Structure formats: C-alpha cells, structure tokens
Amino acid sequence: MASEENKKQVSNTGKASGEKKAENKKGKNSLKKSIKNPFVYIGTIVILVLTIVAFVLIPGVSTGTSSGGQAPTFGSWNGTPIQYSSDSYFADQVSQINDYLRQQGMNESQSQLYAYQVWRMAFQNTVIRTAILDSAKRSGMKISEQTIDEEVAKNSQFQVDGKFSIEKYNSTPLSTRMSVRNRIRDDQLIQNYYGDVMSVSPSTAEIDFVASMAKPQRTMQYVDISYSNFPQEKTLEWAKSNESLFRTIGLSKITINTSQKDAEKVLAQIKANSLSFEDAAKSHSKDSYADKGGDMGTKIFYDLKGDFLNEKDAEAVMVLKKDEISPVYKEAGNTWAFYRVNTEASMPDFSKQSVLDEAKSYLFDKEKSVMESWALAKADEFAAEASRNPFATTAKKAGLEVKAAGPFVLNYGKPSFYFYGQQIGLFQEPYRSLDTELVGAEENETFLTTLFSTAKNAVSKPVVLDASVIVMTVTDDTEGTDQEISYTKFAYPYFYQTALENQIRSTILSSKLFKDEFNTTFVKLFTPAQK
C-alpha cells in the first residue's frame, strides 16, 4: 500500500487525477473549504523533470541521521517536523522520483543542481502528505482495524508462496509490524481524502459553458509596428537627455560578506600599503572578480548603480580620480564592498553605433514605455486611416506588411491537463499561421478580447504585445465543428480534477501552517565540509 501511495504522489509527473477511484467518504475538513472553483485556475501544471543518484551524493543522510546524530529537519507542517530518515516517506520519495526519472533515460550530470530539485520535489510531496493526514485526522476520519488487517494480508512482506503467512507475520519484529500498519493507515486516509475530494465533478451547465468557448473561431489580417523599428533619431534624442546613465568607469572591487568592520580592516591594510589591492581581492573578496584581483573591467553607470543600496553612493564612486579608493559601502545581499578607480569616469560618445545600440537596448529592457508610446501613436494613425480606406492600401501607403493569422479560439492561458503522462490542451486549437510577433498572443487577454469583439471587416483598436503594437481586421468568423465541441466536453472533467488537485497543492504550500526551512538544511547537508 505504501508503494501505491508513493506512486500516486510522484504521479504529478504523469497520471491524471481522473484515473483516481472516487469513493464517497465521510469527514469534511478545513482544507476543502479553502479550495476555490478550479475553473478560475487556468494554466499549465509545470512538471519538473530532474534526476539524481541521491544516496551516492550524501551517504551521511541515507543512514537516517545528520552529523549531530539526529534526522535532519527541512521544515514543518502545523508544528509537525518534516524530517529525512532512511525509513521515512521523504526517503521513499527521493528514491522513487530518482528511479522514475532514470527510467526516462535521464543521467546524473550536474548532480548538485539535480540533487536540489529532486529533494525539493520529494520534500514538497512529503509536506502535502503530512498536511492531508493532519486535516483528515483532525476531521475525525478513521480507518478500521479490519481494513488494515486486510491490507496487511496483501503485503508481500508477510506472504509465502503468494499467500499470507501468520507465522511470518508473528516472527517479524513488533516495531516493523507497527510501522507497516501505521503506513497502511496513513495510505488509506490519503486514498479516502482524495476519493472524497475527487468525487466532486463539474455540472453539466459548467461543461456546456466551457465547451461553448471552442465555438467561435476568427481569422484576421494585421499589421505590426515593432519596437525594433524605433527610429534611431528618437533613440539618440532620448539617450542625450539621459546621458548620465551611460557614463563609463574602470573599476576594481573587493566584497566582504562577514561584517563592515572586517571590510574596513582590509581597506586599512591596503591604505597602509601592507597589502596590495589585488592580493587583498584574491585572499579576502567574495565575488566573481576575486580571481582577477578585483578587476571589474569597464562598468556602465546604469549597471553599476544596481550594486548599491543608495544611488548617491554610486554617484560618489563615479567622481573619484584614478587610483583613488572609495569608503566601504553596504550593498544588497548583506555584503560590504569598496572600489578602486582604474579609469576615470567619462561621458558617452553617441556618435559610436555601439553606444547608441546600448542605449536602445536599455530602452527596450528598462524604459519600454517610450517605445510603446511611439508605436501606439503610429498604430492609432494607421487605424484611423484604415477605417476610411482599404486595409491593404493603407498598409502599403504606410510601408507596413499585411500578414494573416488564424483561426483563433477563446483559449486564454492555454489551459491543459496531464493524461497518461501526456500534456493535453483543453481546447483543440485549429491550425493557424502564427508569426513570431504573435507568439504568446493567444495567452493575451487584451488580444483575444479585441479580436472577438471587433466586427467582421472592421478595423480594431491597437493592441500592445510584448515587443510590438498590432492593428487587425477580422476576415473570417466561423463556428467550431461538433467534433471540436465534443472533445472539449470530454476533456473538461479531466482538466477540472487536475486543477482541483493542483489547487490543493498550492493551498498547502502557501499556508501559514507550512514552515519552509528546506534551503537552509539542504545547503548544510550538501556543502562539502571545509578542511
């Protein structure tokens, strides 16, 4: 029974909730009350595909204890500690997730990264199991001794020639028998809980409503005003008005992560000429520049200021002269740092294309609204003209290419579910030619709202996408086939149960009753001891 429940927990990587047998059981609990209508949860369940040979990586943990002689604690649920020991559900999860992924052909490369993610998944599964058991027991849910006896009789550990052996059972140590019975009791509680929750089904009216979303299908023509075409003269104009952002300076840096006092001690040694800046960086600094003697190369101001808690401190560094060393500054991440100027600060030369390209890149990453305003103005002008004249003619006059895409359905968020290990879309999307600038458009609420609210042959309002603004006209408005509607009616109950199960998981992992200490404990266990 334990192995069956473990597989069910791991099955978040595979089997659909619809495969669980629903059993009507008594016992309501507080977790169910916090679960909202799963239809509002629209999105794809992201499944981590990771691997590790866990027991090879940290053999000290596989024995069931940490170096202090106690099982390591990774967190707690409602005061109950989530611990790792060799005979725990946590350990079973690590082993089973590892085995499952190895069967999928994964390898053990990059073991440190994979270790974190596999153990994290196992930890979360253990938290969820603990939370459900806590809720089930507090609600008064019980498993009869007769049921446990029946399951014990099925356990291969107590069978001889395929049949239950009372002699083998009685000869098994009492502690082992109690452990098996307790695990069976917990497995049965989990099974009853899920059977109770998953017996909830969407109404016929709800299924019909969702299926109706697959009916309207629209094809369009559109023009695209891309931010990549933002005029160079406008880039230059904006860059000149913000030229301080693009000042450059050559720096070296030393970062200390213990205390400000320690950083000031290192700085004092350098100023007393008892230690060179380069040697101090190599022996004391804790950043990526240490091996290069602290040399950061040339830094641009908008990038440099991100290291400081106070932008005024970054400005103070920018005015230092060559070979001058700054005071110690407290930085983000509870570190302290000081800088030496290797090349004094200089203003940007926008006559160089590389500098202008840097400004345009900054605009796109940090000030996209400037590009968006320009594109929207162009799009508004086009839409006004296209509403009076043919769409294609207006596009040609404006130097824009007319493209076609569709048909689209009301598939906001591309909801999906897992069925026999496959990720299945809730809606069968009709074939469409989707250009690069429209990638993600079917997940954009404004795009879909505009597309399906614009009358056929009318010109839409401009729609802002990730890196462009488009204007469209609806060229075809049809209804989905009966087959497409039937598919959605068939698929929705599976999606409903997947969303419900995911909502349970999300509710538990975001609960105030859950105390997460996984990262702290994991780092202690997986960080090699210092010699």
Query: For position 325, which CATH number holds?
Result: 3.10.50.40
Residue 431 pLDDT level (bands cut at 50, 70, 90): low
The CATH number of whichever domain residue 385 belongs to comes to 3.10.50
Q: Per the domain annotation, does 486 fall within a domain?
A: no
Give residue-wise pLDDT tens across range 458-473: 999 999 998 999 999 9
Half-sphere exposure of 504 (CA within 13 A, CB side): 26
277 with 375, same domain: the answer is: no
CA of residue 148 relative to chain centroid, distance: 40
The pLDDT of residue 194 is: 79
The pLDDT of residue 248 is: 96
Judged by average pLDDT, the poorest of 264-278, 320-334, 433-447, 505-519 is 433-447
7 with 42, same domain: the answer is: yes
The pLDDT of residue 10 is: 41
Q: Per the domain annotation, does 15 fall within a domain?
A: yes
18 with 156, same domain: the answer is: yes
188 with 74, same domain: the answer is: yes
**Residues with Cβ < 8 Å from 8, sequence gap 6 or more?**
15, 20, 190, 194
Domain boundary among 318, 346, 374: 346
186 with 254, same domain: the answer is: no
Q: Per the domain annotation, does 487 fall within a domain?
A: no
Could you tell me what percentage of the chain is helix, strand and coil, using 3-state DSSP and rounding each to the nearest 5? Answer: 50, 15, 30
The pLDDT of residue 383 is: 96
174 with 255, same domain: the answer is: no
The pLDDT of residue 433 is: 60
Q: Per the domain annotation, does 484 fall within a domain?
A: no
Query: What percent of the chain clears pLDDT 70, i.e. is strictly above it?
Result: 83
Q: Per the domain annotation, does 380 fall within a domain?
A: yes
The pLDDT of residue 112 is: 57
Domain boundary among 315, 346, 377: 346
197 with 225, same domain: the answer is: no
328 with 380, same domain: the answer is: no
Which of 51-60, 197-206, 326-335 tops mean pLDDT?
A: 326-335
334 with 408, same domain: the answer is: no
Q: Residue 53 pLDDT more than 80?
A: no
For residue 340, what are the domain limits? 248-346
Q: Are 94 and 126 in contact (CB under 8 A)?
A: no
Q: Residue 344 pLDDT more than 90?
A: yes
More confident residue, 202 or 318: 318
Q: Residue 176 pLDDT more than 60?
A: yes
3-state secondary structure (DSSP) of residue 518? helix
Q: Per the domain annotation, does 241 fall within a domain?
A: no
Judged by average pLDDT, the poorest of 63-67, 247-251, 424-428 is 63-67
Q: Residue 21 pLDDT more than 50?
A: no
More confident residue, 13 or 76: 76
Give residue-wise pLDDT tens across range 358-415: 999 999 999 999 999 999 999 999 999 999 999 999 999 999 999 999 888 887 777 8
Q: Are 430 and 216 in contact (CB under 8 A)?
A: no
The pLDDT of residue 289 is: 94
Q: Per the domain annotation, does 413 fall within a domain?
A: yes
Residue 105 pLDDT level (bands cut at 50, 70, 90): low
The residue whose two tokens read 């029946």 is 150
The pLDDT of residue 476 is: 92
Number of domains in the chain: 3
Tokens at 30, concatenated = 């507080």
When the pLDDT of each residue in the chain is averaged and rounded to a whole number, the result is: 82
Q: Look at the chain and count its residues.
A: 531
Query: What percent of the chain clears pLDDT 90, i.e. is strictly above it?
Result: 50
Distances (CA, A) of 515 to 35, 81, 84, 130, 131: 20, 9, 15, 12, 12
Read off the pLDDT of each residue in 407-426 and give the average, rounded to a whole number: 79
Buried b (16+ CB within 10 A) or exposed e, 356-369: bebbbebbeeeeee
94 with 184, same domain: the answer is: yes
Tokens at 509, concatenated = 């992992």
CB atoms within 10 A of CB 182: 12
Q: Per the domain annotation, does 43 fall within a domain?
A: yes
Q: Are 328 and 317 in contact (CB under 8 A)?
A: no
Give residue-wise pLDDT tens across range 118-157: 899 999 999 999 999 999 888 888 889 999 888 889 988 8
The C-alpha torsion from 286 through 292 and 298 to 302, rounded to 10°, is: -10
Cα angle for residues 146, 149, 150 (degrees, 5° grid)? 90
Residue 69 pLDDT level (bands cut at 50, 70, 90): low
The pLDDT of residue 454 is: 94
258 with 222, same domain: the answer is: no
The enclosing H or E element of 335 equals strand 335-346
Give residue-wise pLDDT tens across range 256-310: 999 999 999 999 999 999 999 999 999 999 999 999 999 999 999 999 999 999 9
Residue 528 pLDDT level (bands cut at 50, 70, 90): low
The pLDDT of residue 479 is: 87
225 with 191, same domain: the answer is: no
